[in-house]
Structure 1
């Protein structure tokens, strides 16, 4: 399986190539994803990410760690016990090179068990669920990685604004999928392309689906462009 994202991160950090990634979805045109943005410092992060890092507690699993910017901040600035996890081999090698002490190269949904106080899912963390109908089942899996008093900090966006609106305020949604936030997401790098299904989840849907998995859903912060940060905690606590 191609690892274009990890390859781009590794090449950029090791100065093999400064070429940026190109992204495209089934409802948007091709755009540039600057590699420098993926290596941003805390001061360069949007308020939603800063708030999530501020709320992180105890042992942290940074899911979809990418270049490791969030993990590195928690480890070096806050002195926390953090593990960077990513299914991308290139991403995890980049995290190692940047000095992150604990790393896992794996799909989070294949981990057997854990004992984490915070699961961190940033940069549209709902994307890894891929499909609306899979969210509750995958959240049930994430439960096995949490301590009883643990939390999931997750961000996403409500992309309904990207669809045409009629005079009555309704939206014309033309998609082959069951939910308007399910998209075909394509990365392009050095002449190659790689596609997957990605999920943008509105807050009300996240609450409904997470409550079905036994979580309490709390809105922490709203961003400037239909994005938000939510905290999920176990109802039994």
Structure 2
């Protein structure tokens, strides 16, 4: 499968930046994902991301690491961080930028190592695709956590994007299930599902799968940061 996202990251890293990623969604929106933003430093990150990075501790797994910006911040602070992504281009970019520990793998297939902090930023939880997959995905992440470990993630409640007269309970699918397509330099990738989950729904599913769930902070655009930890019995 063509690694469009990774190709774009490598182009920027190697000085061949001429255009940005374009995203198309089932919400009927076309949007631009500026490549420079994916290479931001700590000061350029939004407050919720900064808060999440400050909350990382112990051995850390940066899930869906992209260009490795979060991993680099943690690494510079002397923390033990591993960056994981299923995109070969993203992992190569991380290595070029100096991320010392990287893994090329789909997180759903990853096993063996255990961590104190699992980090999923930029709505990283969206990779589960559908609400039905969120619970099983959390069960998998639980196997990657050491006792007392935590999962830090951010997401958004996109109900604001719909008309007030719409009734989510009558929709065929959860309103946060969105389909995306990415385009870059004439290349168009296959459509893929992405999940935006409200905090209330996340909390409900997390508790059903034996996680405690804490709202760490709210952002300015209907986004939030949450901390999940497996319950102790």
Same fold (TM over 0.5): yes
| Counterpart position of 1:186 | 181
* TM-fit CA distance, 1:173: 5.2
Preserved contact between residue 12 and residue 19 of structure 1 (Cα < 8 Å): no
Listed as ranges, the gaps of 5+ residues in structure 2 are none
* TM-fit CA distance, 1:172: 4.7
| Counterpart position of 2:47 | 47
1:215 aligns with 2:222: no
Preserved contact between residue 168 and residue 174 of structure 2 (Cα < 8 Å): no
Preserved contact between residue 163 and residue 173 of structure 1 (Cα < 8 Å): no
* 1:111-146 CA distance string (max 9 Å, x none): 122220000000012211111001000100011110
* 1:132-178 CA distance string (max 9 Å, x none): 00100010001111001100000000000001113xxxx35599852
Q: Give 1:129-140 correspondences, 5 Å limit.
A: 129-140=128-139
Cα distance, 1:174–1:23 mapped onto 2, change above 3 Å: farther
Matches of 2:170 and 2:72 in 1, distance apart? 38
Matches of 2:5 and 2:156 in 1, distance apart? 21
Matches of 1:126 and 1:18 in 2, distance apart? 30
Preserved contact between residue 65 and residue 90 of structure 2 (Cα < 8 Å): yes
| Counterpart position of 1:126 | 125
Preserved contact between residue 60 and residue 81 of structure 1 (Cα < 8 Å): yes
Matches of 1:153 and 1:109 in 2, distance apart? 17
* TM-fit CA distance, 1:97: 0.2
Q: Give 1:121-200 correspondences, 5 Å limit.
A: 121-166=120-165, 171-172=166-167, 178-194=173-189, 195-200=191-196
Matches of 2:149 and 2:93 in 1, distance apart? 28
TM-score in terms of structure 1 length:
0.94
Matches of 1:4 and 1:176 in 2, distance apart? 32
| Counterpart position of 1:88 | 87
Structure 1 segments of 4+ aligned residues over 3 angstroms from their partners: 172-177
TM-score in terms of structure 2 length:
0.96
Q: Give 1:103-118 correspondences, 5 Å limit.
A: 103-118=102-117
Matches of 2:20 and 2:169 in 1, distance apart? 30
Cα distance, 1:82–1:186 mapped onto 2, change above 3 Å: same
Q: 2:198 aligns with which of 192, 202, 205?
A: 202
Matches of 1:174 and 1:139 in 2, distance apart? 24
Secondary structure class of the residue paired with 1:180: coil
Matches of 1:173 and 1:162 in 2, distance apart? 12
Secondary structure class of the residue paired with 2:174: coil
* TM-fit CA distance, 1:12: 0.6
Q: Give 1:51-90 correspondences, 5 Å limit.
A: 51-76=51-76, 78-90=77-89
